[in-house]
């Protein structure tokens, strides 16, 4: 009985010894692998860690001359060339790798994928597309399709983009926003060709992909105006409120024009006033101010902007109040007011821009597709607002 209780006193040292032996074998293996690498490899790695890419490239080029058989080093060097913008050298490096007969399947696929990325960076989209299409039937299928989606967007091949995005859909990313936007792009192309029926079909497809697609409703309104039906346009644009009321700002001007065209201008003004009161961030303050100024005169516009400032104080609102007051102020006050207005204009310049929530790119006009990072629907439809809640 005692022996069975204390068997572990004998077993534990044995297990410890086996673990120690296994560790020694692993350590010897690691040391062996380390010794097989040239010392300059670690020198280059140190440069990379310190952010000195140019010096790292110089070191690895020298290593590659004497150790051409090191495949991973060739991949590292090719990647560094592309990162540094030396695309011709990156392309040559990866083409040389592909020509090596001893590469296994995984290495060959990696070389193809790297070469496709080189071609994309160089703007050679047809060559990149050919390689990525071939890689769709390999272990690189998802990465290849993701890159293909980028190629098709650059080429504005929206139908191909839709097909690839549908293949990429999974629980982590449904691509519903992108697919809807691709249909909207096709709709705009059809509108430019004066093919309204095709455009309508694409916009319906966009709403099937994403019922919250405000751009599709906006374009439906434009189509209705082109067809001479402002009543239908008003209905389409007002439907945006149930999707995301902030996007009403993007159609507010044509919406008022549609109300004017139906002889209901005052109703349009009252609607916009109600919407601004209900959604304080709605970016229509300037439009309403202009509207009241033209319809009712300066006194009414001044009263409106002052009331707005009391209920929802903002720097742009203060600037507009002072600009209006400057128009009616006595001459002896104007010089001081002009200085204040100038300072406010400088202080609020950033608040007159649209911002991409992904990369921070700013622009005076609204973009559905960020010109910098190519994200879709990443601009808040409110000037000065830098981010939006996830959709």
Structure tokens at 275: 């919407």
Classified as helix, coil or strand, 131 is: helix
Q: What is the rounded CA–CA span in Å between residue 39 and residue 66? A: 12
Ramachandran assignment for 363, one of left (phi > 0), alpha (psi -120 to 50 degrees), beta (any other): beta
Instruction: State the DSSP H helix or E strand holding residue 95, giving kind and residue range, or none if neither.
Output: helix 87-98
Annotated binding-site residue? 356: yes
What long-range pairs does 251-256 form, CB within 8 A, spacing at least 24?
A: 251/218, 251/221, 252/284, 252/287, 253/287, 254/221, 254/222, 254/225, 255/221, 256/287, 256/291
Annotated binding-site residue? 184: no
Residue 78 has a CB neighbour count (10 Å cut-off) of 26
Structure tokens at 319: 């600037």
Q: What is the rounded CA–CA span in Å between residue 74 and residue 68? A: 8
Annotated binding-site residue? 213: no
Q: What is the rounded CA–CA span in Å between residue 346 and residue 353? A: 13
**Binding annotation:** 356, 359, 370, 373
Residues making up the annotated binding site for Fe cation are: 356, 359, 370, 373
């Amino acid at each position: 009985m005692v022996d069975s209780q204390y068997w572990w006193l004998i077993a534990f040292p044995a297990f410890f010894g086996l673990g120690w032996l296994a560790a020694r074998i692993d350590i010897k293996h690691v040391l062996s692998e380390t010794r097989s690498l040239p010392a300059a490899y670690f020198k280059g790695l140190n440069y990379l860690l310190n952010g000195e890419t140019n010096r790292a490239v110089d070191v690895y080029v020298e290593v590659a001359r004497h150790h051409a058989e090191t495949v991973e080093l060739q991949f590292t060097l090719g990647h560094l060339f592309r990162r540094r913008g030396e695309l011709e050298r990156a392309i040559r490096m990866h083409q040389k790798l592909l020509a090596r007969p001893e590469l296994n399947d995984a290495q060959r696929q990696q070389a193809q994928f790297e070469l496709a990325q080189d071609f994309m960076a160089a703007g050679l989209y047809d060559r990149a597309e050919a390689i990525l299409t071939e890689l769709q039937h390999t272990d690189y299928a998802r990465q290849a399709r993701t890159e293909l989606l980028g190629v098709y967007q650059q080429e504005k091949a929206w139908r191909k983009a839709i097909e690839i995005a549908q293949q990429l859909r999974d629980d982590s990313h449904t691509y519903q926003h992108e697919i809807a936007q691709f249909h909207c792009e096709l709709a705009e192309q059809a509108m430019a060709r004066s093919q309204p029926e095709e455009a309508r079909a694409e916009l319906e497809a966009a709403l099937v992909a994403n019922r919250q697609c405000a751009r599709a409703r906006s374009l439906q309104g434009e189509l209705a105006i082109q067809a001479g039906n402002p009543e239908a346009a008003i209905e389409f644009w007002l439907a945006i409120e149930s999707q995301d009321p902030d996007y009403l700002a993007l159609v507010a001007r044509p919406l008022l024009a549609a109300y004017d065209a139906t002889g209901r201008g005052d109703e349009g003004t009252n609607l916009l006033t109600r919407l601004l009161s209900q959604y304080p961030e709605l970016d229509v303050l300037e439009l309403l101010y202009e509207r009241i100024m033209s319809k009712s005169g300066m006194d009414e516009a001044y009263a409106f902007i002052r009331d707005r400032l009391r209920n929802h104080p903002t720097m742009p609102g203060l600037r507009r109040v002072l600009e209006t007051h400057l128009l009616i102020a006595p001459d002896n006050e104007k010089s001081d007011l002009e200085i204040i207005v100038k300072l406010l204009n400088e202080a609020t310049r950033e608040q007159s821009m649209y911002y991409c929530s992904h990369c921070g790119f700013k622009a005076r006009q609204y973009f559905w597709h960020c010109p910098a990072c190519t994200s879709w629907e990443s601009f808040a439809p409110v000037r000065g607002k830098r981010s939006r809640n996830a959709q």
